[in-house]
């Protein structure tokens, strides 16, 4: 009896089984790589980013009512002129708001001339992201205290922003009121995409708009990992079915 068991356990490896071994190893490696990419990319997004809903048209056309955006967690010390930020200031009602940073501590921000064009430290700012060019409201001039930010909506004729709070600290908010920096629109899916980095303040000295975070490579890694898992699983399933069909015909 023992010899029969030994012969059954030590069956010679057929050429077909020998050929399947490298394929099985490659399939396992591909699945593992896909899992690492998908889980790693998704985890990075989940840890670094938070979704926010846009309830008003104050940031139109950059952001629209009903948009869901992804914003990277940060603080006011890491943002610059041109960044679109999520913040909460009790002096503004304590609600989460989304505006664009146009001036930082030490800047003098103003509007002047017939068209009320924005100037920072006396230098006009070309703002291609505005909903409308030209007159943007009443004239003002504010020197931003250190550690604070001056924030405006891109829809200057329909935004309650620093201009409407000039009586309190010149309309500025504490830099540490910033919770996140908006980097992408998530929904609706027709508007899904990265937010363009503003170059409007690149000619100015001092902090400029931040470079994008790891959202794009993390998203690509997540999608690539999921695709690799699906393709590998499908190829493995088709190969297994083909082997079973061949065995059926040979028998």
* 187: annotated active-site residue: no
Please state, in angstroms and rounded to a whole number, the distance separating the CA atoms of residues 76 and 149: 8
Please state, in angstroms and rounded to a whole number, the distance separating the CA atoms of residues 177 and 159: 19
| Sign of the alpha-carbon dihedral angle for 214, 216, 217, 221 | positive
Q: Which residue has the tokens 């989304």?
A: 98
| Sign of the alpha-carbon dihedral angle for 116, 118, 120, 122 | negative
Which is catalytic among the residues 3, 73, 99, 233? Answer: 99
Please state, in angstroms and rounded to a whole number, the distance separating the CA atoms of residues 216 and 204: 27
* 99: annotated active-site residue: yes
Name the token pair of 67: 């948009």
Which is catalytic among the residues 2, 58, 162, 187? Answer: 58
Please state, in angstroms and rounded to a whole number, the distance separating the CA atoms of residues 38 and 51: 19
Please state, in angstroms and rounded to a whole number, the distance separating the CA atoms of residues 241 and 228: 20
Cα angle 123, 128, 129; round to 5: 115
Q: Which residues are catalytically annotated?
A: 58, 99
């Amino acid at each position: 009896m023992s010899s029969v068991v030994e012969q059954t356990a030590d069956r010679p490896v057929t050429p077909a089984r020998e050929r399947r071994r490298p394929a099985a190893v490659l399939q396992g490696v591909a699945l593992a790589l896909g899992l690492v990419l998908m889980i790693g990319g998704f985890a990075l997004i989940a840890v670094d980013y938070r979704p926010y809903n846009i309830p008003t048209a104050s940031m139109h056309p950059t952001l629209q009512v009903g948009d869901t955006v992804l914003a990277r967690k940060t603080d006011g010390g890491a943002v610059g002129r041109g960044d679109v930020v999520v913040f909460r200031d009790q002096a503004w009602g304590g609600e989460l708001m989304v505006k664009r940073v146009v001036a930082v501590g030490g800047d003098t921000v103003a509007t002047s001339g017939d068209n009320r064009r924005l100037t920072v430290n006396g230098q006009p700012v070309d703002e291609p992201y505005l909903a409308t060019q030209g007159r943007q409201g009443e004239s003002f001039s504010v020197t931003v205290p250190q550690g604070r930010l001056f924030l405006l909506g891109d829809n200057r004729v329909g935004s309650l922003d620093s201009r409407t709070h000039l009586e309190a600290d010149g309309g500025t908010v504490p830099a540490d009121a910033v919770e996140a920096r908006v980097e992408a629109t998530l929904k609706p899916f027709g508007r899904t995409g990265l937010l363009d980095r503003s170059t409007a303040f690149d000619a100015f000295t001092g902090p400029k708009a931040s470079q994008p975070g790891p959202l794009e490579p993390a998203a690509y890694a997540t999608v690539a990992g999921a695709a690799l898992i699906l393709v590998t699983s499908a190829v493995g399933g088709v190969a297994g079915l083909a082997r079973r069909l061949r065995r059926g015909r040979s028998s």
